[in-house]
Structure 1
């Protein structure tokens, strides 16, 4: 044996052991935990959630029409957002099979090990989790993940009309990924890392860093991988999208800079001359820009009467005008071009709304400034406003959830400056009318009230966790909770809503009895102020009483604090039975379920906003309260004359 060769034989068993080890699971980066193959991409401690992400979607499959609006509706995005992401006009019609980037809001919800973008889908006849995942959604999710995200639904017993959340797999980049965003890509037959890297203009090693070795991904049952985008969309588009957008010439990738010239005595004069010419051109452009701005400023200060306001016939591209002091018909100034936000909405004519509402007469009045309208055989709710609606419309166009009232269209009256928002009509009106009317309250049993609480929690969870920037409603109350024909709840009235988190304002608005203490005292605007107001609504559902007493002005949450929240936990059911709505005491009502809801309300009403639960936690706890019905014997709670608890 050659000298020192013995060590090679000694290491041979160790090398054989290493070779026999199983291949690592899919890995997104050294800092990320490996995701499960059918559950999506694991949440990363080093990523910042939520974030903008994309999915590579091929148009024209699964029965989804070749229309930007249809694609946007499927993924809770507007037509403009889809068009903008692909550098298309909003009127473009994609070709069958055309690869497109679909924008997603990727998040990592509490208690979820996986990151995803929630997509709300209404079940149609014949639909199953597997069919929707593989056809309409093109394997951008897996049916096992759908089951996990919807634990209260039975996959083999889905009623038509049921709303199911489909988690679109996505991920947020870390600093190590060196990417502006990540694209979820479904591997196709014949794909390999080299071809995918070329299609997205990235290096194959970046795919290895995000997804693990190529051989491992090809053996997975879940075909999704992550692809980094190195540059901003739509300023630059990857070749797989750019080469297939025949309807428009997209922006080309920035050219590589030319080789830096060697500056010597022969070309120094040319460089100086070029700099002088360039500075002269820049200076001229700057002067021209300043003159143009000065001209526009003078026009703006004049406040021209009738300034470019889109009438009902104006269609897309309209502008909102805001009346100046002095009321409607006075001088107006240009507020904002919102055409890009409203491309998916119907533009109604003033005459249509006036005819459909009987001239906005009292017989058509629903509540406040909202009227019922009959237009072309459909029923709508029309909200008449005297102020600029830009912020409300901007928020409404970015949300799409079954527990939020849907905006159908809008109208601008150029003569008066009035703005009309046209919503879906929600048949059974507001929750407060049901709770305050004794006859209706008796028909609103505990199961219905609990489902209303869950619906409201899901709607708030959506705007708090799955919008970016996050949306704070700021006016959650029972009169802003509407009930449809199936008694499912929808959140209405985003007139006070605000995007952003941890903002501070000196302009305090809201409804007495629902306002969080920190907002009233310091003007602090956070999602936790919605949580506080939600807690008050829970108390209304349990007690059947208003947030503020008409007799003495006592706050409902203060009364609950005195009579229910204080005392031993084991006696909570007895205190709840003595405090709750008499209409509930007459019915079969599980005391444990009611007590669970009261406990949630107590947590939501904590004086310290940091100690209030998130709406994710609330929804989870309430879904557990619903399970009390499964084991409940059917005995209802009654209150005897001494205030004790008995069963009957």
Structure 2
């Protein structure tokens, strides 16, 4: 009897070990790679299923994996970028898989994803709930040795390594173009996975072995991506429709209640203000009274931002900048300051900053300068924005200043990709879209690692395809259609980005001593004939680039992207999505990154 009990308990333990979601995968710290056997990096894909209320739209998933919606939609056989996903809907997520050295003794293969820690996040919860076991908390600890897992702070950037592999040279010869990352489920078998992806049981076993446990990452070898069968919009269950109807009704009731409360609060506020004015005996022409009213108006305008950003006291900022000493001016009205020992950039504004704050509170991207807080000075109706401080200053200073160090061609390419990614984010991933309207090299700041971030959203416009009579911007960067007709669209940012590409290639100022714009010079001297382009480029390229051993074809391809971005017809300029594709194909650091992305020629032809 005792023997039977032990035998039963042993089998029960094995059952739970193989079926419980809490069972740890066999490989917890990552998958080894060998640079002698496979390429240092490759384009691959991860199989991902949309789950939970926060992952039923393509935008949230694309933000999580730092790729654009079209890059997921195309391989996933999706026909719409905006339709709601259904629970467990299958997607293919593009990954840039790299063989990384984690210590002197081993290399691990994974795709680096930057994730910003939010409230209540842990390495385990993010790995399992958000990335659905495509990584593990142990591997996150391995690749972030300086981060303390039990002491994470909100806003902290952490690398999450998504497990992936590149085909070996032998596998490539055998027509294995991708090793799809797939998380083995308790109900899976190797045969069922092979059938699902159009692979074979033998090839899966050759790559992964036979000892596969639930929640292990399985690498499925395929010659091409299988076509995913996606549900049609009409196949949403009646229960989901009913739930949605109940949500709408509940929302309507909630809005109604909030509206009544808002009216009551407004009436109380107006009554209180009336009593206060009578009590103080203030005249409408009293300057102090006007200061107070403007200050209250400013605070009311930015009330939506109070819960997201830190609200500083004016005394804090005054102390941080030694009374806004001119010695601490970085540029214009931006001061360098120290708050609690941390360096920051403090922007003093003489006008209402509510529009800029409203835009900044809905953007969050590694290639946009981060706003940390703000301050309202009611006495003088000033607003102060507190930004992160970027150590290496502006791109303009590096290209046109007196720096003894010059930017290498690879560094310039990396900066171009960073700017393009930031613009793609505000054009594609914000609702409504944001147009920066003042993209220029002095608004591109470089951090300690020389990574570029877009700054200064003071002129930004939420929403596009509008017309304005108030023309603002910097000469040499402003799109022709904006100057002539006041048309505000994302394509005006594309034009300005094209001008920055010209700066990166030539090292020239955007307006010369005669007042001639650089893009006009390009229009006159470059006729678009590829046979003559290389010859014409030699007199245009920055001398610092010519002294390197970089590929002239790489420079020429960037020049072609710039010319396409500067097209006089906005509708014929490429989108930032197309530009990111083209730049990543051009960039020597990202060779063959996107197999299916638009070539430079295709971008130019649009």
What is the TM-score when the length of structure 1 is the normalising length? 0.55
Matching residue of 2:475? 512
Structure 2 residue matching 1:374: 3-state secondary structure:
strand
Residues 116-195 of structure 1: matches in 2 within 5 Å?
Answer: 135-141=125-131
Q: 1:356: Cα distance to partner?
A: 1.2
C-alpha contact 2:410 2:588 (8 A) present in aligned 1: no
Per the alignment, do residues 454 and 330 of structure 1 end up closer, same or farther by CA in structure 2, a change over 3 Å counting? same
Q: Is the 8 A contact 1:472 1:527 kept in 2?
A: yes
2:416 aligned to 443, 449, 453, which one? 453
- Aligned partner of 1:603 in structure 2 is 564
Tell me, in whole angstroms, the C-alpha distance in 1 between the residues paired with 2:584 and 2:286.
49
Structure showing greater radius of gyration is: 1
Partner residue of 1:538? Answer: 501
Structure 2 match to 1:563: 525
- Tell me which of 323, 329, 341 is aligned to 1:377: 341
Superposed CA offset, 1:438-473 (max 9, x none)? 544x52111111111010001001111111111111
> Does the 8 Å contact 2:328/2:335 carry over to 1?
yes
Q: Does 1:432 align with 2:440?
A: no
Cα distance in structure 2, aligned partners of 1:506 and 1:327: 33
Query: Contact between 1:427 and 1:483, CA under 8 Å: does it hold in 2?
Result: yes
Q: How does 1:390-401 map to 2 (within 5 A)?
A: 390-401=354-365
Q: Is the Cα–Cα contact under 8 Å of residues 592 and 628 in structure 1 kept in the other structure?
A: no
2:538 is aligned to 577
Task: Work out the CA distance in 2 between the residues paired with 1:376 and 1:349.
Answer: 13
Give the structure 2 partner of residue 524 of structure 1. 487
Q: CA deviation at 1:187?
A: 13
Q: For residues 466 and 397 of structure 1, what CA distance do their matches in structure 2 show?
A: 13
Instruction: Give the whole-Å Cα distance in 2 for the aligned partners of 1:379 and 1:627.
Output: 34
Change (3 A) 1:498 1:325: farther
Computed over aligned residues only, the root mean square deviation of the Cα atoms, in angstroms, reads 5.3
Decide whether the 8 Å contact of 1:305 with 1:331 is kept in 2.
no
Measure the CA separation in 1 of the matches of 2:402 and 2:112. 45
CA shift, 1:628, in A, is: 7.9
Alignment match of 1:487 (pick from 445, 450, 453): 450
Between the aligned partners of 2:101 and 2:251, the Cα distance in structure 1 is 42
Alpha-carbon displacement from aligned partner over 1:222-261 (angstroms, at most 9, x marks no partner): 9x999985479998499xxxxxxxxxxxx79989xxxxxx
C-alpha displacement of 1:290: 10
- Match of 1:520, SS state, is helix
* Structure 2 counterpart of 1:415: 379
CA distance in 1, matches of 2:278, 2:580: 51
CA distance in 2, matches of 1:306, 1:368: 42
Shift of 1:165: 10
> Is contact 1:464-1:527 (8 Å) kept?
yes
TM-score under structure 2 length normalisation: 0.58
Is the helix fraction higher in 1 or 2? 2
Other-structure match for 2:351: 387
Report the 3-state secondary structure (helix = DSSP H, G, I; strand = E; otherwise coil) of the residue aligned with 2:126: coil
| Corresponding residue SS for 2:448 | coil
Change (3 A) 1:338 1:443: same
Q: Which deviates more, 615-624 or 478-487?
A: 615-624
CA contact (8 A) 2:62 2:69 kept: no
Higher mean displacement: 472-481 or 571-580 = 571-580
Q: Aligned in 2, Cα 1:576/1:40: closer, same or farther, shift over 3 Å?
A: same
- 1:470 corresponds in structure 2 to 433
TM-fit CA distance, 1:138: 2.6
- Equivalent residue, structure 2, for 1:554: 516
Contact between 1:163 and 1:402, CA under 8 Å: does it hold in 2?
Answer: no
1:334 CA drift (Å) = 2.3
Give, in angstroms, the shift of residue 491 of structure 1.
0.1
For 2:522 and 2:357, locate their aligned partners in 1 and report how far apart those are by CA, in whole Å: 37
C-alpha distance in structure 1 between counterparts of 2:411 and 2:430, whole Å: 28
Structure 1 residues 545-598: Cα deviation after superposition (integer angstroms, max 9, x where no partner): 11111x10000000111122x152122122112111122222222101110110
* Contact preservation (8 Å) 1:381, 1:425: yes
Cα displacement (A) at 1:363: 1.1
Q: Match of 2:387, SS? A: strand
Aligned 8 A contact 1:590 1:628 in 2: no
Distance 2:467 2:583 in 1: 31
Does the aligned pair in 1 maintain the 2:337–2:344 contact within 8 Å? yes
**Measured at CA, do residues 294 and 421 of structure 1 come closer, stay the same or move farther in structure 2, by a change above 3 Å?**
closer
Structure 2 unaligned residues grouped into runs of 5+: 1-43, 82-90, 116-122, 136-141, 147-156, 164-182, 188-216, 220-229, 593-606
Deviation at 1:157, TM superposition (A): 9.3
CA contact (8 A) 2:584 2:590 kept: no
Separation in 2 of the partners of 1:163 and 1:536?
Answer: 33
Separation of aligned partners in 2, 1:585 and 1:130: 33
- Quote the residue 2:577 is aligned against: 616
Q: Quick one: distance in 1 between partners of 2:253 and 2:276?
A: 42
Q: Secondary structure at the match of 2:55?
A: strand
State the match for 2:139 in structure 1: none
Question: Tell me, what secondary structure is at the counterpart of 1:475?
Answer: coil
Paired residue total: 426
Partner residue of 1:362? 326
The answer to whether the 8 A contact 2:399-2:504 is kept is: yes
Q: Is the 8 A contact 2:127 2:134 kept in 1?
A: no
Change over 3 Å in CA distance of 1:453–1:356 after alignment to 2: same
The answer as to whether partners of 2:346 and 2:385 remain within 8 angstroms in 1 is yes
In structure 2, how many angstroms separate the alpha carbons of the residues matched to 1:616 and 1:465?
Answer: 8
Distance 1:628 1:419, change over 3 A: closer
CA distance in 1, matches of 2:436, 2:331: 19
1:113 equivalent among 55, 75, 79: 75
Measure, in 1, the Cα distance between the counterparts of 2:389 and 2:578.
Answer: 30
Partner Cα separation in structure 1 for residue 286 and residue 457 of structure 2: 23
Which ranges in structure 1 are unaligned for 5 or more consecutive residues? 1-35, 43-51, 57-72, 78-103, 146-155, 168-185, 191-219, 239-250, 256-284, 308-322, 632-648
